[in-house]
């Protein structure tokens, strides 16, 4: 009887151990996404520049450098699970240090154009650099795309991310006020890339931050067959230097109507411009971050990109100024229309056009905006 009791006790204990082990296995979470940090190169003054690789648990991998907050690579699966890099750019830092059309960069203080590089604020005239013909573009000669950001990695149960911080000094590129900026990239396991912008200032100043990635959902070739929808019933009419005239024109019956998805190339030539193509600000009909602002489908791969934003507009640009003189990743020559941009933003030249929504940030106020790029395949 004594031995039978001992044997039964051992059996019970073993059973409990197996049960506990099974419970532990049941509640074990999958491995979180990963972040790696490597040296990307060195600035002319020998300052080290870093490259961060963010990979979520769904297999999307994104590379970001703290130089300009640039997204240098974004690997996204197609309908068969094959990955391709869907953003234009360079393999090394040297490409980004040379003259480049803002591939993948954070843009500030002011995304898009300010006419003649001038604006008046609180009775004072401010003069900015003219770096786009007669106008000021994307923050000037050394905008936020050309500075080093402080970077901090973070990892949660369902996302990986990078928080970037930069302080733009009073008078930098001609803008007033010390502007403290934080931009956060968050890549979650649902294949959503969220970009959050926060800023404060000690003096009134224009602020219009955006992200300037050139997308090609096929991974190569031109983007004419990509099917685009933009939820916008009006767009800004521009003059020949791409400054808004002030007219908000209905898209209906024009080449600018993307309310029903159509191939980008269908009305591309009719969009006009020199060079020809889309480089226009569309006024969104959406009411907030939960409304679909734009949707792009690449038919051959099945890749889909959806855009959600709380901004009032989006600049749609078809890479019109790409002219075959730039060699990008793996020596790829970037030709006209090889990439498109959807830059969520306020209107161009708003500091000079009182009828447009204001872009002036004042002391004590908090600048906050968010855009989400969601990737999938069909």
Q: Active site includes 196?
A: no
- Catalytic residue, chosen from 136, 212, 280, 346, is 212
Q: What DSSP character marks residue 364?
A: T
Whether 228 contacts 293, CB under 8 Å: no
Active-site pick, 172, 173, 298, 343: 343
Whole-angstrom distance, CA of residue 235 vs CA of residue 353? 15
Burial group, residue 266, by CB count within 10 angstroms (0-12, 13-18, 19+): middle
Residue 195 and residue 370 in contact, taking contact as beta carbons nearer than 8 Å:
yes
Shortest CA distance to 147 belongs to which of 186, 171, 173? 173
Helices and strands, number each (H, E), in the chain: 2, 29
Whether the CB-CB separation of 75 and 128 falls below 8 Å is answered with: no
Look at residue 196 and give its three-state secondary structure.
Answer: strand
Reply yes or no on whether 343 is catalytic.
yes
Q: The tokens of 25 are what?
A: 């296995």
Q: How far apart (Å, rounded) are the C-alpha atoms in residues 171 and 140? A: 12
Rounded CA-CA distance 161/176 in Å is 31
Residues that are catalytic: 212, 343
């Amino acid at each position: 009887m004594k031995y039978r009791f001992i044997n039964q006790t051992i059996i019970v204990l073993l059973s409990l151990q197996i049960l506990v082990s099974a419970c532990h296995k049941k509640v074990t979470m999958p491995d979180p996404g990963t972040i790696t940090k490597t040296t990307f190169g060195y600035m002319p003054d020998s300052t080290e520049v870093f490259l961060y690789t963010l990979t979520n648990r769904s297999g999307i991998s994104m590379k970001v450098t703290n130089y300009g907050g640039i997204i240098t690579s974004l690997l996204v699966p197609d309908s068969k699970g094959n990955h391709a890099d869907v953003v234009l750019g360079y393999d090394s830092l040297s490409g980004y240090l040379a003259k480049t059309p803002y591939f993948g960069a954070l843009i500030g203080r002011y995304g898009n154009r300010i006419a003649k590089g001038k604006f008046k604020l609180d009775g004072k005239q401010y003069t900015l650099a003219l770096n786009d013909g007669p106008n000021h573009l994307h923050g000037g000669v050394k905008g936020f795309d050309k500075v080093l950001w402080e970077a901090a990695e973070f990892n949660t149960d369902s996302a990986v991310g990078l928080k970037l911080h930069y302080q733009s000094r009073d008078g930098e590129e001609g803008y007033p006020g010390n502007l403290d900026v934080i931009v956060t990239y968050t890549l979650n396991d649902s294949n959503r890339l969220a970009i959050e912008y926060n800023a404060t200032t000690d003096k009134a100043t224009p602020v219009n931050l955006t992200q300037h990635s050139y997308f090609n959902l096929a991974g190569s070739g031109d983007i004419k067959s990509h099917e685009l929808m933009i939820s916008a019933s009006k767009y800004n009419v521009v003059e020949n230097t791409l400054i808004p005239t002030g007219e908000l024109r209905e898209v209906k019956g024009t080449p600018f109507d993307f309310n029903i998805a159509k191939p980008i190339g269908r009305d591309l030539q009719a969009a006009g411009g020199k060079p020809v193509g889309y480089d226009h600000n569309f006024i969104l009909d959406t009411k907030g971050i939960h409304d679909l602002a734009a949707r792009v489908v690449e038919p051959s791969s099945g890749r889909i990109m959806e855009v959600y934003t709380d901004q009032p507009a989006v600049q749609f640009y078809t890479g019109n100024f790409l002219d075959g003189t730039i060699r990008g990743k793996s020596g790829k020559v970037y030709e006209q229309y090889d990439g498109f941009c959807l830059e969520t933003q306020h209107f161009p030249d708003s500091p000079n056009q009182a009828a447009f929504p204001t872009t002036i940030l004042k002391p004590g106020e908090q600048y906050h905006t968010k855009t989400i790029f969601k990737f999938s395949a069909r």
